[in-house]
Amino acid sequence: MGLIEEIQRRRTFAIISHPDAGKTTLTEKLLLFGGAIHVAGAVKSNKIKKTATSDFMEIEKQRGISVATSVMGFEYKDHKVNILDTPGHQDFAEDTFRTLTAVDSVIIVVDAAKGVEAQTRKLMEVCRMRKTPVMVFINKMDRPSKDAFDLLDEIEEELKIKVRPLSWPIGNGPTFQGVYNIFESNLNLFEASKQTVQESIAFSDVNNPELEGYIGESASELLREEIELVEGVYPDFDINEYLKGDLAPVFFGSALNNFGVNELLNCFITIAPTPQPSSTIQRDINPDENKFTGFVFKIHANMDPNHRNRIAFVKICSGKFERNKNYHHVRQGKNFKFSSPTAFMAEKKSIIDEAFPGDIVGLPDSGNFIIGDTITEGEKINFKGLPSFSPELFRYIENADPMKSKQLAKGIDQLMDEGVAQLFTSQFNGRKIIGTVGALQFEVIEHRLNNEYNAKCRYEPINLYKACWVRSKNTAQLEDFKRRKNQYMAKDKQGRDVFLADSAYMLQLAQQNFEDIEFHFTSEF
């Protein structure tokens, strides 16, 4: 198969949801369809339950498991489907944001009883920003649910995207009888707890009187009314609107009961985008270019504390990636050969010889990569779109074991490269400050420093509101600003100027008083 064919058959996506909506269950069912796993329960969730926020064992387990489940590839009807897992816990939202930079589309899972929840709204903002096409799966229809039209209105309003139902539920909870698949014009009858795929019944027209025989008179009547309303209210499904990120096709089902998942997957491989072009600072890269390019969007530490090896996850953007070929690490200006790149097929990790745009390969790494690194066949380009977000929680980090200061420095350095948190060095007193997006990261850092680097840290409180990157063409004003705000100035790991505001008021005032200075809330600008 040539490069173009390989690209055409790939679909790389992420499933996002508010915790508990059913992301893990849906992932598992998709893998079952793809034959990547054979029994339910094989995919452990990449999530930390709410109750376990300070349970270190749980974090460890989660981290170990998520190496295997970070990327799940499988073959389905001549397509290569790559699912990128995202942590459900909100403290790891940044990880999720970065993963979203490596996908071409997204499936959003919404709980039919709860509707759109906070985390989904946030993640959708990222999709909107990047114009990522999204599909919606309304899950748990076997439970008493909100009215289907209300759910659609809610999605439209809360996620700020037009919707178009491509399947329609017949009842819900105890009265749930199945769905009418608008996309394929067939009827799927629901049987609880059935793990095999139901046969669908071809039904090009819901007005066919045979419908009563399947779902009864009153349900048939209601379905006909509702389908008529759907066709009246929503314009015909337009794939281009979906591909532009303006319209979300919606499916209903019950992942736990393996219901509606097959329809979702069939529609997905038909309409979801193939690997898309990516932007670098220098130029746009098309997947069908002959030369290989890729970037690191995630780094995962190994579980074994005796081998501090890590895995750098590389998204292939163009060309063919080959094992043992010389590739150029743009930031370091050095060439590397990778003898054991791995691909991920559900629970299994295996060494591969080649990979194509849309695929993710895992490169064993002893510390050469940081998030955002670009690998090419020699061209000096830098992929864009991997921002660091301005952290909102801060603590001073101090060495708690003077004999281990080297280990501590190395540990902090590597954990920051992994994107666990951000490190700032105060220009005022030279102290090191850790900034995070979620509180859990502080515990993770302390625990991992101890466990993997044999170093001990101690935190001290610091009262800060927000860190923002400052830049200005007016160098005199910038210098003046830095001098006057000396106490609040820091450098990030790349040596860029960061302003640490201790209150919203202070930040506002600084923005007013220093008009020529740009205050950035993400580090990529």
Q: Which residue positions form the known binding site?
A: 17-24, 85-89, 139-142
Here the tokens at position 485 are 């705000």
Q: How far is the CB of 437 from ligand G4P (least distance, A)?
A: 19
Binding residues for GTP, by number, are 17-24, 85-89, 139-142
Nearer to ligand G4P among residue 142 and residue 359 (C-beta): 142
> Nearest 5°: CA angle at 17, between 14 and 23?
70
Give the containing element (helix H, strand E) for 511.
Answer: helix 504-513
The DSSP secondary structure of 383-415, one letter per residue, reads B---PPBPP-EEEEEEES-GGGHHHHHHHHHHH
Alpha-carbon radius of gyration of the chain = 25
Nearer to ligand G4P among residue 120 and residue 376 (C-beta): 120
Nearer to ligand G4P among residue 70 and residue 407 (C-beta): 70
> Nearest 5°: CA angle at 464, between 461 and 470?
135
Q: How far is the CB of 23 from ligand G4P (least distance, A)?
A: 3
> Scanning the structure block, which residue is given the tokens 């708690």?
400
Q: How far is the CB of 37 from ligand G4P (least distance, A)?
A: 15
Nearer to ligand G4P among residue 188 and residue 376 (C-beta): 188
Q: How far is the CB of 184 from ligand G4P (least distance, A)?
A: 21
Q: DSSP class of residue 274?
A: P
Here the tokens at position 390 are 């301005």
Nearer to ligand G4P among residue 66 and residue 139 (C-beta): 139
Is residue 70 within 8 A of residue 64, CB to CB? The reply is no
Q: DSSP class of residue 208?
A: S
Q: How far is the CB of 457 from ligand G4P (least distance, A)?
A: 31
Distance, CA of 24 to chain centre? 13
In whole angstroms, give the CA distance from residue 68 to residue 381: 30
In whole angstroms, give the CA distance from residue 25 to residue 406: 43
Q: How far is the CB of 260 from ligand G4P (least distance, A)?
A: 9
> Scanning the structure block, which residue is given the tokens 């015909």?
236
CA dist 34 to 27, 110, 433, Å? 11, 22, 46
Give the interface with ligand G4P as residue ranges (CB under 6 A). 17, 19-25, 45, 47, 88, 139-140, 142-143, 254-257
Nearer to ligand G4P among residue 63 and residue 140 (C-beta): 140
Nearer to ligand G4P among residue 257 and residue 407 (C-beta): 257
Q: How far is the CB of 486 from ligand G4P (least distance, A)?
A: 46
